[in-house]
Amino acid sequence: MFLRSKTSRNRVLVWMWRAPTRSFASAMFLAATLTACYPGSDAVYAQRQAAERQAVVTQNLRAATAQTPRGTPVEGEALRKLVVERTWISEYERFPDGSPGPHRTYDYFREDGQFIWAHNWVYGEAKAMAGDSWRVEGSRLCWRNQRMWQEAKCYTVALDTKAGIQLYIDAPGTPNHGLLTRVIKRSEAGPPKMTGR
């Protein structure tokens, strides 16, 4: 709103801006807040973000699959021998929090079907978790690791020319079916021998 002012010599209109009233300020704050909000629920927003992250993962898996020659398939009894009483060790340059590694994960396939997963980010022994298990179904290796996901995940396995164990996602009907997800370069007999950071 504008105010009119007079001077003693001549009548001059001076227009000055008057500070907004409280109701006007409240309306401006509400308008700014509403335009910043996502037009949907938090659940819809979270689903959209998860779909965007999954699209990036799929793109990266496709690139890795395209540039990695597929090894010789391993099935049945040969696959069991590659797994039973073995610990697969994966090594990464960084820990999950971004600090320098090496960060190691350990996948142990106990003979009785118990799957045990551990890592060197959090100290401690590799302990069995009730419900975690593994199995071989022909050409598929499936395991359940509840620390990562609730349902069992299945893979087809191949050996590359350097004896690296290639894991290809076996999930028909999903965008990641048939894509390379990991190459295990170290496999040791027996349970994990944990090493610290």
Model confidence over 9-39: pLDDT tens digits? 444 333 334 444 566 556 656 555 555 555 6
Q: With a cut of 50, which residues of the chain have pLDDT below it?
A: 1-20
- CA atoms within 13 Å, Cβ hemisphere of 4: 3
- CA atoms within 13 Å, Cβ hemisphere of 105: 15
What's the whole-model pTM score? 0.72
Give residue 96's pLDDT. 83
Give residue 14's pLDDT. 39
Give residue 34's pLDDT. 55
Give residue 16's pLDDT. 38
Give residue 28's pLDDT. 59
Please report, for residues 1, 5, 7, the alpha-carbon distance to residue 15 in angstroms, rounded to integers and kept in the order given.
9, 7, 13
- CA atoms within 13 Å, Cβ hemisphere of 51: 6
Give residue 3's pLDDT. 47
Structural domains of the chain sorted by starting position, each given as residue range(s) with its CATH number in brackets: 2-36 (no CATH), 69-189 (2.40.128)
For residues 87 and 188, the answer to whether their CB atoms sit within 8 Å is yes
d(CA 171, CA 173) in angstroms, rounded, equals: 6
Could you tell me which residues come within 8 angstroms of residue 97 by beta carbon, excluding any fewer than 6 positions away? 121
d(CA 152, CA 145) in angstroms, rounded, equals: 7
Which residues, in sequence order, are bridge partners of residue 168? 156, 180
- Tokens describing residue 26: 């409240």
